[in-house]
């Protein structure tokens, strides 16, 4: 409450009036389901206990005035009728991308005064971009009385990020997690499209880490820079898509995505795929087994088998490094994960996110958390940031 009151005062100082709406959306942690979203597979995700807060009030014209801690202390202005793309990576492109998508639904929205505050690390692999998009969209929709199903709203924000103003080819995991998660739950997502929606099923999986005296923590080396749009992400996505008709021919059945290939079916054609294209075989093997790991992780959680769940996390990380090679040009990622999972008290540890960076997720016993950090700092070196979190609530209205 103290933070909100401070933000209200800041808003009033900037714009001479009180905000009419305050919204929030959290960052996210990919728990398991690595690169499965664009392969129509499965994933488990959580909203983290870091969020982006957006304060808004309506104007009588078409002007947008927007300030953001860390980007623009003084308001930046542009018109809803003139939303040109700025330089690559410019944070205003994300704002304009969301506005453009909302205006497809309600073209007659008016201008706004906006203040954005976030403690979601922009370099932490926890999708600060999705938190910004969902927080902004949630606030604007409340301000103008736009009703939209939460799944459609998250999909709209994904389209904004994929669109020409931003141009990042992210899957649906980021926006779904930020928009749809619930406190003390992991979000299960089935990325088999249904109609115009990128998922056919989602459900909330309860997880009570306190009962097991454990916590999640994201570990980040902020000095290792990553850009999803120019990384190896597009190449891996393209190779997975290329494999689909090849596997359909090998298996003698219709295959529209890798989620339709079972582990047993993959094993039956593994050698043929290896002989045809060893790199493709590795990429496919990771995705097929990763989908099964997600389903196994859900069963382990529902049965209260937290140690089994931890082992599945570790297996996921090994596959991502050895088969999907997400440590390409970033040996720091391999060092971070392999050193970390050897430390006593670590129940499971894996890479997190799209890769090509040094970001990991660990499930650690609370009694060992301090020594875990100390020992990992000693083994890895200086510069690591630790982001502990509990599974939190998705996007919503604060005031």
The alpha carbon torsion through 192, 195, 197, 203 (nearest 10 deg) reads -60
Number of other residues whose CB lies within 10 A of the CB of residue 69: 14
* Rounded average pLDDT over 243-249: 98
d(CA 48, CA 54): 17
pLDDT, tens digit (0-9, with 9 covering 90-100), for 142-166: 999 999 999 999 999 999 999 999 9
H-assigned helices in the chain: 2-15, 91-105, 128-144, 150-162, 173-180, 233-251, 263-276, 278-302, 306-322, 331-340, 369-380
Number of other residues whose CB lies within 10 A of the CB of residue 330: 22
Q: Helix 278-302 vs helix 306-322: angle between axes, to the nearest 10 degrees?
A: 170
Per-residue pLDDT at 1 exceeds 70: no
pLDDT, position 229: 44
pLDDT, position 14: 97
In the predicted model, what is the mean pLDDT of the chain? 94
* Rounded average pLDDT over 306-310: 98
Per-residue pLDDT at 138 exceeds 90: yes
Q: C-alpha angle with apex 29: 367 to 379, nearest 5 degrees?
A: 50
Q: Where are the domains of the chain?
A: 2-30+44-181
Q: Who has greater pLDDT, 30 or 229?
A: 30
2-30+44-181: CATH, from 3.30.450.30, 3.30.470.20, 3.30.230.10, 2.40.170.20: 3.30.230.10
Span of 56-60, 63-67, 126-130, 355-359 with lowest mean pLDDT: 355-359
Please list the active-site residues: 174
Per-residue pLDDT at 230 exceeds 60: no
DSSP 376: H
pLDDT, tens digit (0-9, with 9 covering 90-100), for 89-110: 789 999 999 999 999 999 999 9
pLDDT, position 231: 64
pLDDT, position 71: 87
Contact assessment for residue 218 and residue 352, using Cβ atoms and an 8 Å cutoff: yes
* DSSP calls for 86-115: -STT-HHHHHHHHHHHHHHH-TT---EEEE
d(CA 120, CA 49): 9
* Rounded average pLDDT over 367-396: 96
**pTM score over 0.85:** yes
């Amino acid at each position: 409450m103290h933070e909100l009151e401070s933000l209200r005062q800041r808003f009033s100082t900037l714009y001479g009036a009180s905000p009419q709406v305050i919204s929030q959306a959290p960052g996210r942690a990919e728990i398991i389901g690595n690169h499965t979203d664009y392969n129509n597979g499965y994933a488990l995700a959580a909203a983290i206990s870091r969020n982006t807060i957006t304060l808004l009030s309506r104007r009588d014209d078409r002007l947008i005035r927007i300030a953001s801690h860390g980007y623009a202390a003084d308001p930046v202005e542009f018109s809803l009728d003139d939303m040109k793309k700025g330089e690559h990576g410019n944070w205003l492109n994300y704002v304009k991308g969301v506005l453009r998508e909302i205006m497809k639904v309600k073209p007659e929205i008016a201008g706004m005064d906006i203040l954005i505050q976030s403690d979601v690390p922009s370099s932490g692999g926890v999708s600060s971009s999705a938190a910004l998009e969902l927080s902004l969209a949630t606030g604007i929709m409340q301000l103008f009385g736009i009703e939209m199903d939460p799944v459609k709203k998250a999909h709209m924000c994904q389209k904004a990020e994929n669109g020409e103003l931003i141009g990042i080819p992210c899957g649906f995991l980021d926006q779904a997690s930020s928009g749809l998660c619930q406190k003390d739950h992991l979000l299960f997502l089935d990325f088999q499209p249904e109609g115009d929606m990128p998922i056919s099923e989602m459900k909330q999986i309860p997880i009570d880490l306190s009962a097991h005296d454990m916590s999640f923590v994201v570990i980040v080396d902020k000095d290792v820079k990553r850009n999803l749009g120019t990384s190896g992400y597009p190449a891996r996505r393209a190779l997975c898509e290329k494999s689909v008709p090849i596997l359909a021919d090998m298996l003698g059945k219709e295959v529209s995505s890798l989620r339709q290939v079972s582990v047993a079916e993959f094993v039956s054609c593994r050698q043929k795929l290896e002989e045809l294209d060893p790199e493709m075989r590795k990429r496919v093997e990771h995705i097929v087994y990763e989908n099964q790991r997600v389903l196994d992780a859900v069963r382990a959680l529902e049965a209260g088998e937290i140690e089994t769940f931890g082992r599945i996390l570790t297996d996921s990380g090994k596959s991502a490094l050895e088969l999907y090679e997400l440590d390409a040009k970033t040996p720091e990622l391999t060092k971070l994960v392999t050193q970390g999972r050897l430390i006593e008290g670590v129940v499971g540890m894996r890479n997190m996110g799209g890769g090509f960076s040094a970001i990991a997720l660990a499930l650690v016993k609370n009694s060992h958390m301090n020594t875990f950090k100390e020992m990992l700092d000693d083994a890895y070196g200086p510069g690591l940031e630790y982001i502990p979190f509990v599974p939190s609530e998705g996007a919503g209205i604060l005031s």
